[in-house]
């Protein structure tokens, strides 16, 4: 079982116009007998601009399920709004730093063989020349 704890927004912090919401009702699933099979107490709420959908069937009352679905949808939208800038910052950082894997290397310095390889240009230089600062072959000059 997984439990997610979402911050519940205050009424004034996240206002969703009713025109952006699509409400549907359906019969609940699972045990519950005749009441569950005859009443449409489950609520499916869709936020049209984002496509985010919430289904709530935890209560016997459709009105309570509507309230719960709206609270959950607002919490998820607030979470998505807060994660947006963080996601963009992480993507920017990753593009600058790279993954740290071998494919990100610019140069390989192999002391055992006495070679320096520039992977961007595909050129090689001796370690002694590299340590003396003779980088003209690597820079492309």
CATH number of the CATH domain containing 44: 3.30.160.20
Q: Is residue 133 part of a domain?
A: yes
Same domain assignment for residues 51 and 115? no
Domain residue limits at 44: 18-97
Same domain assignment for residues 25 and 82? yes
**pLDDT grade, residue 141 (50/70/90)?**
low
Structurally, the chain folds into a number of domains equal to: 2
pLDDT of residue 44 exceeding 90, the answer is: yes
**pLDDT grade, residue 119 (50/70/90)?**
confident
Tokens of 8: 């519940």
H or E element that contains 137: helix 136-139
Q: How many CA atoms lie within 13 A of 70 on its CB side?
A: 17
For the CA atoms of 12, 18, 21, 27, the dihedral, rounded to the nearest 10 degrees, stands at 100
| Residues 71-117 pLDDT 10s | 999 988 888 888 877 787 777 777 766 666 666 777 888 889 999 88
Same domain assignment for residues 59 and 119? no
pTM of the model as a whole: 0.54
Q: Is residue 2 part of a domain?
A: no
User: Which residues does 105 contact at the CB level (< 8 Å), separation at least 6?
Assistant: 119
**pLDDT grade, residue 53 (50/70/90)?**
very high
User: Which residues does 124 contact at the CB level (< 8 Å), separation at least 6?
Assistant: 115, 116, 117, 118
Same domain assignment for residues 32 and 93? yes
């Amino acid at each position: 079982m997984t439990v997610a704890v979402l911050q519940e927004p205050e009424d004034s912090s996240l206002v969703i116009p009713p025109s952006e919401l699509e409400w549907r009702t359906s019969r609940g699933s699972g045990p519950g007998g005749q009441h569950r099979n005859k009443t449409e107490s489950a609520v499916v709420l869709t936020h049209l601009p984002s496509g985010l959908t919430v289904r709530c069937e935890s209560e016997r009352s459709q009105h309570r399920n509507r309230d719960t679905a709206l609270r959950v949808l607002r919490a998820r939208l607030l979470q998505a709004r807060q994660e947006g800038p963080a996601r963009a910052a992480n993507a920017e950082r990753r593009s600058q730093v790279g993954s740290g894997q071998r494919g990100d290397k610019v140069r390989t310095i192999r002391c055992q063989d006495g070679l320096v390889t520039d992977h961007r240009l595909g050129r090689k230089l001796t370690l002694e020349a590299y340590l003396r600062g003779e980088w003209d072959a690597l820079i492309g000059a």
